Amino acid sequence: MTAGITDTKGTFGKVWIPDPNTPGVIIQTMDNMENTIYYLVINGSVNPIKWWQIYLTMAGRRNIVEIFGGKRTNNYLFGFMNNSFTLPKNFILEISGFYQSPFFDGSVKMTIDPQVNASLRKQFFKKKLSAGLYVNNIFDVGTAKVEDYENDFSQVLRTRYSYREFGISLNYSFQSGKSIKIKNVESGAVEEKARMQ
């Protein structure tokens, strides 16, 4: 579990502004803003039963953006889950997915579709070789909604950023089953501290 606060001054964020030279035209550019984020992240793995492993990441964030002389607040949630099932005869089935709630990038609000992926792999030669089939974006959703509502204009765009994808994978591990030696590295913290005084 990780919790924290970041307070950033003078960072850049995405903004849309009317073109002063061409009425009816909106320009996307970058502008200075101040950004305060309160966040909590939880991640880890769980084994409900011997042949099922779950890896989970959940994050919550409260984002306060100061831009265009005002404050905008956004509560954001993100979740990722990967389920790995060990099947007979060295088959492994993985099903993963993610969700994220609408979030702000500068003055622009982004909404992205959640996705689910799956793969089936088989291991050979003492688990050194792995061959598999996968499908990403199973439900073929992949649209992004981009919104900006200002005093003098509003803009809503929808775009497609992802499609269903099928593929084949082949991996070979040359180090599988071999021990790895790790060398300890001594840091020069004492010397650095003495140098700073």
**% of the chain residues with pLDDT over 70:** 89
Which residues are registered as beta bridge partners of 38?
5, 62
Cα 55 to the chain's mean position, in Å?
15
Question: What is the per-residue pLDDT for 44?
Answer: 94
- Mean pLDDT of all residues in 61-86: 90
pLDDT band per the 50, 70, 90 thresholds, residue 50: very high
Which of 127, 134, 143 is CA-nearest to residue 168? 134
Say what the pTM is.
0.71
Cα torsion 61, 66, 68, 71 to 10°: value is 70
- Give the count of alpha carbons within 13 A of 58, CB side only: 5
Of 118, 168, 120, nearest in space to 139 by CA:
118
When pLDDT is averaged across residues 25-41 and rounded to a whole number, the result is: 87
